[in-house]
Amino acid sequence: MTDNVEGRAEGRPPKGPASAVQSVDRAVTVLEILARLGEAGVTEVADELGVHKSTAFRLLGVLENRGLVGQEQERGKYYLGAGVLRLAGAAAVRLDISQEGAAVCKQLADELGETVNIAVLESDAAVNIMQARGPASVTAQNWLGRRTPLHATSSGKALLAYQPAPVQEAVLGRKLPRLTERTVTSAAELRRQLGEVVERGFAVAVEELELGLRAVAAPVRAHDGSVIGAISVSVPAYRLDEERLPEVVKGTVSAAEELSRRMGYAC
């Protein structure tokens, strides 16, 4: 890959969409170089990239500011930083909970006959990463990979309830969109419901995302007790009345505890 001659001569990176993509590609390549070599100086990185040392230095500086690389002050060598471990850890958790949760989802879906999902928190949404359908499930809707609002779903509430106060307040401080006539749009009411989730150990959403759909969710914990996901059961409203609710809650909580154990948490 050749460097931009004009940008190099002026000491400025080239501008434009193509340049931005090129910069991202080079930054990723720098991380790959450090992963392969263990550590490297600016000259080595520049040679590997085929760019001027000033370009390599700028790339390393940006990555260092984001915690993705570190520098040995005495020798000036760069190495992968703790930020890479943070990103890798997040990816590993998502992969692990999906793998470990497959059997748990299938068993619960078979027991209750309904659709079961596992969701994780991603920015301001709950994202479904695993799904199993029970024999009584009448919907063909696929929730896998779908981003759902935190305030209007059982998974979202189960995830949000255990987040640090600043994360909760960031959600509560924004406008809560009304998706159905039963969607909670009051920050005060949602805050109260989140308190109930922590107290009871499960969350319920009653036709708040879609009319005719009710759901129950319980938190999934990592080995350190932190909530890393939520397992939920979605049921047509006519099949989840007050009489059946305790059965669905019990099964959901039990499945969440089982998945938490598989993730290393001593329930």
Q: Going along the chain, which residue ranges are E strands?
A: 69-71, 78-80, 115-122, 125-132, 147-149, 203-206, 213-221, 227-236
Q: How confident is the model at residue 23 (pLDDT cuts 50, 70, 90)?
A: confident
* pLDDT tens, residue by residue, 137-152: 655 467 778 889 999 9
Residue 261 structure tokens: 């154990």
* pLDDT tens, residue by residue, 58-71: 999 999 898 888 88
pLDDT attached to residue 68: 87
**More confident: 226 or 86:** 226
The whole-angstrom separation of Cα 215 and Cα 238 is 12
CA distances in angstroms from 56 to 4, 36, 38, 188, listed in the order given: 13, 17, 17, 50
pLDDT attached to residue 75: 73
Residue 157 structure tokens: 């509430």
- The SS3 of residue 67 is coil
Q: How confident is the model at residue 224 (pLDDT cuts 50, 70, 90)?
A: confident
The whole-angstrom separation of Cα 233 and Cα 216 is 5
Average predicted confidence (pLDDT) for the chain: 87
The whole-angstrom separation of Cα 87 and Cα 19 is 25
CB atoms under 10 Å from CB of 220, counted, come to 28
pTM for this one?
Answer: 0.66
Cβ contact 90:78 at 8 Å:
no
Flag whether pLDDT at 86 surpasses 80: no
Cβ contact 166:144 at 8 Å:
no
